[in-house]
Amino acid sequence: MNMTQYNSKEEYEEYLKDQAILPAGFRCAATSLSFFPQEKKVNAPMQMNLSLLFSEDEIKSFGAVFTRNTFCGAPVSINKKRLSEPFIHGILINNKISNVCTRSGIHDAEDILSSLGDILHRPSAAFLPASTGIIGWRLPVREIKGSLPGLVQRLPDGNLLDVAKAIMTTDSFPKVRTHQTGDGRITAIAKGAGMIEPNMATMLVFILTDITISRQELRKALRRAAEESFNKISIDSDQSTSDMAVCLSSGKKECESINHFNHALTSVCKYLAEDIVRNGEGTSHVIKVIVSGTNNIHLNAGIGKAIVNSPLVKTAMFGDDPNTGRIVAAIGDYLGNNYITVNTEKMVIRMAGIEIFSNMAFTMNQEKEARLSAYLKECRLDPKIKGYPQHDKTVDIEISFGNKSARTTIIGSDLSYEYVRENADYRS
């Protein structure tokens, strides 16, 4: 979906600067702090970034979608309640520790926001907390509170690209997307690299708009956009305790058309979702699976996710090996073990447009094998190149069960050494 290619970090940053435009009515800032965790002995202090998205005026139109994880983090629990506040003023975000399942989690977050409210002369309940990082550790409350005055001071000169960088954890590059519609604008930033599964796995998305829209319309638009974007990607099959996508409207610009707004929001979210996968931990191939013909979008999505979540498909892709048998095995595993009957006689599978399976049998030969192998090499990203996405290529796999119209696209990543390396020592 990205139409551009980047040859260096600098080139990508140039592009990001054009994207990181704050919609009217918003300010932002980022800072960092050092702390020693209580839970683990470390030799050097750890670093945490703190970011603030802020509106001087009351934001009455805001909404959010959250992880479905039962053990959701304190920020998720707090924000679910704050969705019924009459207005908010902003979001405070930290990386490094996700504030999940500690005895004092809710209290810690509220304590911090209370300090922030005092500094900004706004009610504490007018701020939403967001945290990402290690589960089970306490936030360094004292250090965070100590950093708040400095953070607030930076608001006049704050830059959204800095915030997009500050919310990163194992992300390799910042993710910002903007879309102008009429006089108004939607700009969104995202954090998310691992633990990403459809339905909002560890992913933080903050969407700011100046377009006037009612709270109810905004929430409906956000749910729909998230369903078509963030809920259709998967890096690993794990869903985090902390995910959220939050949308704030300052209402500073007129809304020309609710349809245009919906379209713009979905577009921004889809671009960001693909950015997140491309930036997945150790991603060396972005896999795009398009399932059609079942006349059931949930079944389509289930089949697509079964493919992009199969460790054997993922490792084959990593090895530039068009091991088409594993794709069929993953589909059959999903169907058989969920007792789903579809007309498999009509199933046709294509990779890169090349038919590999039809009439219940593979149609591979040496020439197709060689072409697909070359195709996978072309689609390769080097996960060791950090800081920018190298190209926009995807490994396209189409599964069709006939001519019925419903099409569902699922985007996922392969499974590389780099993924294992990053996740084996994430906390060290």
Tokens encoding 267: 């577009």
52 vs 135 by CB, closer to a copy of itself:
135
**Least CB distance to a copy of itself at residue 41 (A):** 5
24 vs 342 by CB, closer to a copy of itself:
342
Residues 202, 209, 266, 324: which is the catalytic one? 202
The kind and range of the H/E element at 390 are none
**Least CB distance to a copy of itself at residue 240 (A):** 6
Please return the burial class of 428, using the count of CB atoms within 10 Å of its CB with bins 0-12, 13-18 and 19+.
exposed
| DSSP three-state, residue 16 | helix
**Least CB distance to a copy of itself at residue 146 (A):** 23
213 vs 379 by CB, closer to a copy of itself:
379
259 vs 366 by CB, closer to a copy of itself:
366
Please return the burial class of 119, using the count of CB atoms within 10 Å of its CB with bins 0-12, 13-18 and 19+.
middle
Instruction: Give the Cα separation of 30 and 387 in Å (integer).
Output: 19
Bridge partners, residue 51, by sequence: 30, 93
Q: How far apart are the first and last CA of the chain?
A: 35
**Least CB distance to a copy of itself at residue 110 (A):** 16
Helix 141-153 × helix 105-120 angle, to 10°: 30
Instruction: Give the Cα separation of 134 and 30 in Å (integer).
Output: 20
**Least CB distance to a copy of itself at residue 342 (A):** 8
379 close to 361: Cβ distance less than 8 angstroms: no
Verify whether residue 294 is a known catalytic residue. Answer: no
For tokens 């009515």, the residue is: 25
177 vs 326 by CB, closer to a copy of itself:
326
Determine the Cα angle at 28 with ends 230 and 32, to 5°. Answer: 90
**Least CB distance to a copy of itself at residue 259 (A):** 32
Torsion over CA: 394, 397, 403, 408 (sign): negative
209 vs 240 by CB, closer to a copy of itself:
240
298 — phi, psi (to 5°)?
A: -70, -40
Q: Which residues are catalytic?
A: 202
